């Protein structure tokens, strides 16, 4: 959410930003919110004037009674009583205007960074850099669930009977590998100075609307029936919500966390062929990075965050690339975002395994997260990035570490989390 003062003073910049995101249907909202804001300020001024008048009159009434001028005092009291009704009406109108303005401001997209490429959708995202040499082995790489099945490591049929499509059972070596990757990612980030955290897996509606757009909320979140609670789609939601309505001493910044959680997502929309198996699912686990920092430091942290993910994947012998998200592919709260994509030897292309985002002060403004600096309070900047999100990450791992005989190499950094195992041997 952008600052109403910025919109008031720079409406053309806000309109241009909306056009860059190809959301022309939102252009009328700029004029609408300007009109509402003007009325709101006028009403506020009237209320303040009437309250000042009332305070002054209250002192005069006391003086009149002291002077024995009871009739004049009573007349002034009646006038104040009429003003009180007007103040109440105007106050109600001010609250309604505040509500309408906030609803519109929550829909108007954040101002994107000048470096963001302009494009309508993810088909126009721009490759930035590749890390590692993508290779295609001289043997056929099976579909990822077929690889897992050779280890008796997955049961989708039972999961469908228990919970429906989009769920899974992981078992044996594959389940252990899943947990090992999460544990390794946790320690990898701790070694880089991040504080480990396990947050609540449910959050209230005021936190939901503080951390994401309405469109994302509708497409992603599961609501708990009869409760003001939602299952989180990522631990970023809980971690940013942790600081709702808080003032953080500036000397404590930056706050850097690596958080673990299960994640729950509706995943609405059509799913393509490559999204069967465990690629697009309703429940998964993830290790996340979250940063709260000074505004002037957010771009530096943005670069550090996505590099952490690249370094982790390379330590597991997985080639990756970074893909700059274009303007039309950015969620409304984001200033800048880059996807990390892993190489798939079977598909002979890259696919998304993580996303790094700088949200500027949008979440902080919605949730009133401020820092106390020497010259006063200011809104912090928030960033988040995926460390790993198995089981999708397991697809890249299994394909890139698969041998012709069906065995899977375990990179040295992961072996301590697998009981020293150097290679997984299929059962069939």
> Quick one: what percent of the chain has pLDDT higher than 70?
95
Q: 85 preceded by cis ω (within 30°)?
A: no
Domain shared by 363 and 272, yes or no = yes
Domain assignment present for residue 387? The answer is: yes
Domain shared by 137 and 26, yes or no = no
Domain assignment present for residue 159? The answer is: yes
Q: In the predicted model, what is the mean pLDDT of residues 126-147?
A: 96
Contact 21, 13 (CB under 8 A): no
Domain shared by 297 and 211, yes or no = yes
* Long-range contacts, stretch 47-56, CB < 8 angstroms, 24+ apart: 47/87, 47/90, 47/91, 47/94, 50/83, 50/86, 50/87, 50/90, 51/87, 53/83, 54/80, 54/83, 54/84, 54/87
Query: In this predicted model, what pLDDT tens digit does every residue of 340-358 receive, in sequence order?
Result: 999 999 999 999 999 999 9
Query: In this predicted model, what pLDDT tens digit does every residue of 17-34 receive, in sequence order?
Result: 999 999 999 999 999 999
- Whole-number pLDDT of residue 268: 60
Domain assignment present for residue 211? The answer is: yes
Full domain range(s) for residue 62? 4-105
Domain shared by 87 and 233, yes or no = no
Q: pLDDT band for 273, please (50, 70, 90 cuts).
A: very low
Q: In the predicted model, what is the mean pLDDT of residues 248-256?
A: 98
CA distances to 30, 104, 105, 361, 366 from 17, rounded to whole Å, are 11, 15, 14, 16, 20
Look at the block and give the residue holding tokens 């480990």. 196
Domain boundary among 105, 136, 164: 105
Domain shared by 137 and 98, yes or no = no
DSSP conformation letters of 1-60:
---HHHHHH-HHHHHHHHHHTT-GGGHHHHHHHHHHHHHHHHHHHHHHHHHHHHHHHHHH
- Helices 298-315 and 172-191: crossing angle in degrees, nearest 10, is 140
| CA-based nearest residue to 392, from 303, 291, 282 | 282
Query: In this predicted model, what pLDDT tens digit does every residue of 31-71 receive, in sequence order?
Result: 999 999 999 999 999 998 988 877 777 767 767 677 777 77
- Whole-number pLDDT of residue 426: 95
Q: pLDDT band for 77, please (50, 70, 90 cuts).
A: low
For residue 186, the domain's CATH number is 3.30.930.10
Domain assignment present for residue 114? The answer is: no
Domain assignment present for residue 10? The answer is: yes
Domain shared by 92 and 42, yes or no = yes
**Please, how many CA atoms are within 13 Å of residue 407, restricted to the half-sphere of its CB?**
9
Dist. CA 306–CA 387, nearest whole Å:
9
For residue 29, the domain's CATH number is 1.10.287.40
**pLDDT, mean over the chain:** 92
Q: In the predicted model, what is the mean pLDDT of residues 157-175?
A: 94
Domain shared by 58 and 128, yes or no = no
Domain boundary among 73, 105, 137: 105
Domain shared by 168 and 230, yes or no = yes
Dist. CA 325–CA 323, nearest whole Å:
6
Domain count, the chain: 2
> Quick one: what percent of the chain has pLDDT higher than 90?
82
Dist. CA 54–CA 49, nearest whole Å:
9
Domain assignment present for residue 116? The answer is: no
Asked whether the predicted pLDDT for residue 161 surpasses 70, the reply is yes
Domain boundary among 71, 105, 139: 105
Encoding tokens for residue 342? 């892993």
Domain assignment present for residue 111? The answer is: no
Look at the block and give the residue holding tokens 């303005």. 101
Which stretches within 165-212 are classed as H helix?
172-191, 205-211
**Beta carbons within 8 Å of 164's beta carbon, 6+ residues apart:** none
Domain shared by 335 and 367, yes or no = yes
**Please, how many CA atoms are within 13 Å of residue 65, restricted to the half-sphere of its CB?**
9
Domain shared by 225 and 361, yes or no = yes
Contact 241, 367 (CB under 8 A): yes
Contact 322, 222 (CB under 8 A): no
Domain assignment present for residue 368? The answer is: yes
Domain shared by 201 and 95, yes or no = no
Domain shared by 49 and 136, yes or no = no
258 φ, ψ (degrees, to nearest 5): -120, 115
């Amino acid at each position: 959410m952008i600052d109403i003062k910025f919109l008031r003073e720079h409406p053309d910049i806000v309109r241009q930003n909306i056009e860059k995101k190809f959301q022309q249907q939102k252009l009328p909202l700029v004029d609408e919110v300007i009109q509402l804001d003007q009325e709101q300020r006028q009403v506020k001024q009237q209320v303040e004037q009437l309250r000042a008048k009332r305070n002054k009159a209250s002192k005069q009434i006391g003086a009149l009674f002291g002077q024995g001028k009871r009739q004049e005092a009573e007349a002034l009291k009646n006038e104040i009583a009429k003003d009180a009704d007007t103040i109440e009406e105007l106050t109600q109108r001010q609250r309604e205007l505040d509500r309408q303005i906030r609803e519109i401001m929550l829909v108007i997209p954040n101002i994107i960074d000048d470096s963001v490429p302009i494009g309508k959708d993810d088909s126009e995202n721009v490759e930035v850099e590749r890390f590692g040499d993508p290779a295609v082995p001289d043997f056929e790489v099976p579909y990822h669930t077929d690889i897992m099945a050779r280890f008796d490591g997955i049961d989708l049929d039972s999961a469908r009977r228990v919970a429906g499509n989009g769920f899974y059972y992981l078992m044996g070596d594959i389940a252990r590998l899943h947990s090992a990757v999460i544990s390794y990612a946790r320690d990898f980030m701790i070694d880089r100075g991040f504080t480990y955290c396990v947050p609540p897996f449910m959050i209230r509606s005021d936190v939901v609307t503080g951390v994401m757009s309405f469109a994302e909320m509708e497409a992603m979140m599961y609501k708990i029936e009869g409760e003001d609670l939602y299952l989180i789609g990522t631990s970023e939601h809980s971690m940013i919500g942790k600081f709702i309505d808080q003032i953080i001493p500036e000397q404590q910044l930056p706050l850097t966390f690596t958080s673990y959680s299960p994640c729950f997502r509706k995943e609405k929309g059509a799913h393509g062929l490559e999204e069967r198996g465990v690629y697009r699912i309703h429940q998964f686990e993830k290790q996340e990075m979250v940063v709260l920092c000074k505004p002037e430091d957010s771009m530096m942290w943005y670069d550090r965050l996505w590099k952490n993910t690249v370094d982790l994947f390379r330590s597991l012998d997985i080639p990756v690339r970074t893909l700059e998200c274009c303007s039309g592919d950015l969620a409304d709260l984001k200033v800048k975002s880059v996807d990390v994509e892993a190489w798939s030897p079977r598909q002979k292309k890259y696919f998304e395994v993580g996303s790094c985002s700088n949200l500027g002060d949008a979440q902080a403004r919605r949730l009133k997260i401020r820092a106390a600096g020497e010259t006063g309070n200011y809104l912090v900047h928030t960033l988040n990035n995926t460390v790993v999100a198995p089981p999708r990450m397991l697809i890249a791992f299994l394909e890139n570490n698969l041998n012709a005989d069906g065995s899977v190499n375990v990179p040295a950094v992961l072996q301590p989390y697998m009981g020293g195992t150097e290679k997984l041997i299929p059962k069939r």
